[in-house]
Structure 1
C-alpha cells in the first residue's frame, strides 16, 4: 500500500470503554515517527470534542485538536452555513452545540440521544418532517459496543423517521462520502493515499471505500465474525490496530 495518511476510528479501534486496546499508543507514536499524516474520525455523539480529546490524552494517545473530526462538529457547521435552527434529539453532552428556538424550528437533527429517543420526541420530529423540515442525522451507524455489549446506535432511529415521513436524511459523519472528503481534503493528499482503520464494516470500511480511500477492518470493537464478507469489495482484515504495520 502506498499510504501517506492514516484515518483512525476511535472506539473499538484505539480503545474500548476506558481502556486502550493493545498496541494503540505504540501504533500512534510509531506513525508519527514515520511522518505519516494522522486523522481521528469519529461519529461519537455522546461526548464533546473537548471530552474526546481529554479522554484520548488520559489514555496516552496524543491527538492534536485539528486532527480530530467528529460528526457533531460537521452537523453544527452544516447548520450554521444554512442558518437552520434544529429540533435536536441529541445527547445532553453535545446539546449546547445546537442553537434551539422552539418557535422557529426549521429542521430536525437526530443523534445518539439514548433515552431521549422515545415515542413523544420521535413523534414531534416526525410532525416537523411532515411539515417540510429536512432531516439531518449525526452518523448512520447501526449499533455500537460499550461495557454493556452491543447497543442500538442512531442509524435505526434516523431511518425510522425517514421511512415514516418519506424523506431522505442528510448524514453528517461516517459513512457519508462528503464527510470522508472533508477529512481527506484536510490532509492535502488524494483519497487513494489515505487508509481508514475501523471496526464498523459499513460506517468505517465501506464508507471509506466508497469515498475512494483505502480501508482496513479490525477484529476488535463491534466486529463480528464474517463482517468482512458483507463488503462490496475486498478490504484487508487485521486482528487489531497493532497489526496495521503488516499492511504498510
Structure 2
C-alpha cells in the first residue's frame, strides 16, 4: 500500500462510521475498532479523534464511547462546538443558535441577546422551518452578521438510514442571503491543523481515516494529510469513482488500516 511508504507519526480518526455505528441506545462498535484503537495507543502512535458531531457534548460522546469499550480521553476529541464557542468569544459575537438542546451547556456562557451571528449545527428533530427562517432574518437584516456552519456535510448515516446533515441548510442560507458560511469543523483546514498541532505532528507525517470521502478524506488531503476511506459508515460504492477526491487508499474497516500502519512501523 503506497500510503504507508513514508512513516505515519500521527493518526486522525473520524468517530461515527469509523469507530461505531449509531443506533438504538449507544449504537454498536464496528467489529475490530475497539481493538484497533487500543493497538494504536499501545504502539505509542499519537491519535486524535476529529468529529463533526454537534448533537451532543464531547463529554457525553466520550462517555458513550467508553461504554462501547473504547479507551479515549476527553482531550483527544476535537469537535466543532468548543471551537466555535472559542471563536465567538474571540470576536465578541452574539449568536442565534440553531442547535440541539443537548449541547446547550456548551453555549451556557455565550451572550445570545440581539444576535449578530448565526451558528448552524445539526439540531436533529429540533430543526424546523421556523428556526431556519429566524436565522435567515438575523442575517438578512444585518449585512455584517456572520454565518457559522459546524461542518458542511451533505448527509450521514443514522442507524441504518442516511440523514441530511447541516450542509444543505447552510447552502440554503448562503443562497438566500448572498453570504458565505465560515465552516468550523471538517473539512476546514484550521480544524485539521489544530489537531495536528496538539499531536506535534506535521501534515505529511499524518493520516486521516474516515468514512466521508469529501469532508474526511478530501479535507485532510487539502491540508497535506494522507486520506484513507473505510468501507463502513456512510461509505457508498460510488465513492470509489468520485470525480474529485481520490483517497490514498480504501480499506474495509479501521482494523485493516491500523494493521497496515503498525506493520510499516514495525519494519521501520
Report the equivalent of 1:223.
235
What displacement does 1:246 show?
A: 4.6
**Of 7-16 and 117-126, the range deviating more from structure 2:** 117-126
Given candidates 89, 110, 113, the residue that maps to 1:80 is: 89
SS in 2 for 1:135: strand
> Which runs of structure 1 show a deviation greater than 4 angstroms over 4 or more consecutive aligned residues?
none
Deviation at 1:128, TM superposition (A): 1.2
Give the aligned partner of residue 208 of structure 1: 220
The TM-score with structure 2 as length reference comes to 0.89
- Tell me, in whole angstroms, the C-alpha distance in 1 between the residues paired with 2:83 and 2:258: 30
Per-residue CA deviation, residues 100-131 of structure 1 (Å, 9 max, x unaligned), is 433x2110000001233322111111111112
**TM-score, normalization by structure 1:** 0.96
| 1:175 corresponds to 2:187 | yes
Q: CA deviation at 1:71?
A: 1.1
Are 1:28 and 1:61, in contact at CA under 8 Å, matched by a contact in 2?
Answer: yes
What whole-Å deviation, never above 9, does each CA across 1:200-236 have from its counterpart, x for those lacking one? 0111000100111111000000000021322434420
- Aligned-pair Cα RMSD in Å: 1.3
Tell me the secondary structure at the aligned position of residue 101 of structure 2. Answer: coil
Measure, in 2, the Cα distance between the counterparts of 1:5 and 1:169: 30
1:25 correspondence with 2:38: no
Question: In structure 2, what is the Cα distance between the partners aligned to 1:247 and 1:210?
Answer: 23
Q: Find 1:14's aligned residue among 13, 16, 19.
A: 19
Corresponding position of 1:118: 128
Give me the whole-angstrom Cα distance separating, in 2, the residues matched to 1:60 and 1:139.
27
CA contact (8 A) 2:54 2:103 kept: yes
Q: Distance in 2 between matches of 1:41 and 1:14?
A: 11
Q: How many residues align?
A: 247
Deviations 1:171-203 (A, max 9, x none): 010011111111111111101111111000111
Which residue of the partner structure matches residue 112 of structure 2? 101
Say which SS state the counterpart of residue 54 (structure 1) adopts.
Answer: helix
Structure 2 stretches of 5 or more lacking a match?
262-268
